[in-house]
Chain A
Amino acid sequence: MTSRQARNIAFIALVLIAALIWVFPLYWALTTSLRSEARIVSDAGVLMDELNFTAYANVLATSQLPRWYLNSVGTSLIITATVLFTGMMCAYALSQLRFPGRKLLYLLIVASFMVPIPALYVAQFILMNDLGLVNSWAGIILPQLVVPVVIIVYKQFFDAIPHEMREAVLLDGGGEFTLLFKLYLPLNWGITAALAIITFISAWNNFFWPFLIATSESMMTIPVGITQVNDTFGIAYGRLMALALLAAAPVILAYLVFQKRVTEAVMISAGVKG
C-alpha cells in the first residue's frame, strides 16, 4: 500500500467518524427509547443492548399522539397542495401572460422575502380571532399558505420553456389552462415534487404558529403536542425519546425516500433567495 492510499483511507475513516458523531444524538435517543426507565438512569453504556418497546406502547396509549399525527398530516397536506396549486397558477400568469399590475405583483412577492414572518404573528392572530378561526385547522393553515419562493422557482422554470411549444398548443385551440396543466406542469414534475416535499417538511416542522393558534391539546400538531407531554411525564426520558422519534419518523422517512428531491429543492430555493 502506498502512503497516498493509506492517507486516503485515514481520511475516509476520519470523515466517517465525524459523521457518526454528528448523528450520535439520534442514535442515543433511539437507544434510550428502547431501554427500561430503570436502566436509563443506571450507568448502562452506549451500546444498543435492549429492545424494549414499553416506552413506545406507553406513549401511544397515554398521549394524544394519534390525534396530533392526524392534525399534522391533514394541515401539512392541505398547505402543500394549496401552496403549489395557487403558486403554479400565479407563476404561470407572471411568466406567460401580459396584464396590468404584473410587475408590481412580482415586486411585492420578491419584497415579501424580507419580512420576518414571526413579526406578523400578533396581527395574524388578531385576524384569526376576528374570523373565529382560533384553535381550528383553518387557523393553523391559512397564514402558512403564503410561500413566495414557490412562485419564484416556478416562474424561473416556466420562463425557460421554449415559446414554440406554446404556439403549437394554442394553434390546436388550447387555452391557458390547457397550456398550464397539459404542457407546463408535466414538463416540471421534477421541480413540483421537490417543492412539494420541502413545503410539506417545513409545514410539518413549523412550531411557533401552531403553538400560538392551537389552544386545546386535541388541536395541536406533532411538534407542539409533544412539548405538552414533557410537562406531564416529569423525568421519564425513555418515553420522551420514544415520543421524539415517533414525532420525527414521518419527516425522516420522507427525507430518506425523497432525498434527491430534498437536496434539489434546498439548492434551488436557496439560489432564489440569494
Chain B
Amino acid sequence: MSSTRRKSRELRSAIILVLPFMVIFTVFFLYPTVKVVMLSFTNAPLIGEGEWVGLDNYVRLLSDRLFFTSLWNNLYFVLLTVIPTTVIALLIALAVSRLSGRLQALVLTLFFLPYVLPVSVVTLIWAWMLDFQFGILQPLISTLAGRPVAVFKDPNWVMPMIALVTVWWTNGFNVLLFIAGLRNIPKDLYEAAALDGATAWQRFWRVTWPLLWPITALVLTLQLILQLKLFDQVYLLSQGGPFNQSYVVLLQMYREAFQLNNGGYASALAMVLFAVIVILSVVQFQVLKIRGRK
C-alpha cells in the first residue's frame, strides 16, 4: 500500500518537473519539425493555407540550378573551413599547452576572444579590414593578386574570404577542445618516449596524434555540421553574390520563404539541409571511428 502511494507521489512529482520543458519542447520544437516535413509536400505560401502537391517541390529541386549552385557552395565552404580550422586549432593548442601559468591564460584568452563576438560585429570589423579603398589588408591583397580586390564582390575571392572570417571567428572553440584533449594525455607517456630516444616529431605522431584522435574526430564532426549551416556571414558580407558564387542552401531557404513567399518550397530546401547534415555526420562519424581504431 505504502509503496503504491510512494509510486503515485513519484509520478506526480515527475509530471510537474517534466511538464514545463515538455510543453516548450513539444510546441516550439517537435511541432515545427513535423510541420516543416508536412509543408515540404505542399505549395503553401509563408502565411496561409496551401494544397498537398506530393513530391512536386522535391522534383522541382532537381531542376533548380540555383539549388545545385547553393549545395555546391555549401560543400566548397566546408572544404575551405573544416580541415583548415582543425589544423590551425591543433597547432595553436599544441603551442599554448607548452606555455604555463599567466602567460598560457593570456594567450588562450587572445585566441578565444573572437568566438564570443556576435556575428554582425565580426562581419563589420572584417568588412572594414578588407575595404576596397581603405582596408588595412588591401596592401597584402595587392601583393598577392597584383591589384586591390573588392573581395566580397569578386567571384573567386568571396568564398575563401568568408571562410577566413569564419575560421577567425569560430576557431577558439576548437582550440579549447584540443587543449582539453591534450591535458588528458598522461605525462609519463612522453617521458617514456623521451627515454626511448624518440624525437619531438616521433613523440607527436606516436603519442599525441593517436591519443588525441577522438577529440580530432569530434572537432571535425562538429565543424562539419556547423559550417553546413552557413547563413549569417554570407547574408551580411555578400548576400549570396556576386553571380550567386556565395549562395548557400539556407540563404535560398530564406529568400524563398521570406521574400518570394514560397513556404512549401523553402521547407523542401530545409529538408535537404536536414538530410545532408544527418547523412554526412553519420558517415563521417563512422569513417573517423574506423580510422581511429587502426
Contacts and interface: CB of A to CB of B under 8 A. Distances in A.
A18 B96 CA distance: 11
Contacts of A112: 25, 29
A223 B121 contact: yes
Contact of B110 (A19, A126, A244, A273): A19
Contacts of B29: 112, 115, 120, 143, 146
A77 interface: no
Interface string A109-138: 100101110111111111101000000000
B189 interface: no
Interface in B111-134: 111-114, 116-121, 124-126, 128-129, 131, 133-134
Contact of A23 (B30, B46, B110): B110
Interface stretch (B63-71, B152-160, B202-210, B271-279): B271-279
Contacts of B21: 86-87, 89-90, 151
Contact of B134 (A126, A237, A274): A237
A266 B118 contact: no
A98 B257 CA distance: 43
Nearest to A197: B116
Nearest to B29: A146
B255 to A, nearest CB: 12
Nearest to B177: A270
Contact of A99 (B15, B39, B125, B222): B15
A15 to B, nearest CB: 5
Interface string B176-205: 110010000000000000000000000000
A149 interface: no
A29 interface: yes
Contact of B221 (A20, A92, A274): A274
B178 to A, nearest CB: 11
A266 B257 contact: no
A97 B13 CA distance: 9
Contacts of B103: 12
Given A86-B24, A116-B225, A226-B124, A255 B113 contact: yes
A46 interface: yes
A145 B24 contact: yes
A54 interface: no
B129 A226 contact: no
Contact of B109 (A146, A176, A259): A259
Nearest to A274: B218
Given A15-B95, A90-B21, A247-B118, A122 B125 contact: no
Nearest to A241: B128
Interface stretch (A159-167, A186-194, A200-208): A200-208
Nearest to B231: A208
B253 interface: yes
Interface residues of A, number: 91
Nearest to B134: A41
User: Mostly helix, strand, loop or mixed at chain B's interface?
Assistant: helix
A65 interface: no
Contact of B173 (A25, A124, A142, A266): A266
B55 interface: no
A140 interface: no
Contacts of A270: 173, 176-177, 218, 222
Contact of A29 (B95, B128, B177, B254): B128
A99 B10 contact: yes
Given A123-B32, A226-B124, A252-B117, A97 B14 contact: yes
Contacts of B5: none
Interface in A164-217: 175-177, 180, 201, 204-205, 207-208, 212
Interface of A: 11-12, 15-16, 18-20, 22-23, 25-26, 28-29, 32, 40-41, 46, 82, 85-87, 89-90, 92-94, 97-99, 102, 105, 108-109, 112, 114-116, 118-127, 129, 142-143, 145-146, 151, 175-177, 180, 201, 204-205, 207-208, 212, 222-224, 226-227, 230, 237, 240-241, 243-245, 247-248, 251-252, 254-256, 259, 262-263, 266-267, 270-271, 273-274
12 contacts: A23-B113, A26-B113, A32-B128, A90-B21, A90-B22, A93-B17, A97-B10, A108-B25, A120-B33, A244-B121, A263-B176, A267-B177
Given A122-B39, A124-B32, A248-B118, 13 more contacts: A28-B129, A82-B24, A93-B13, A99-B10, A102-B14, A118-B250, A127-B31, A127-B32, A145-B24, A146-B28, A256-B109, A267-B177, A270-B173
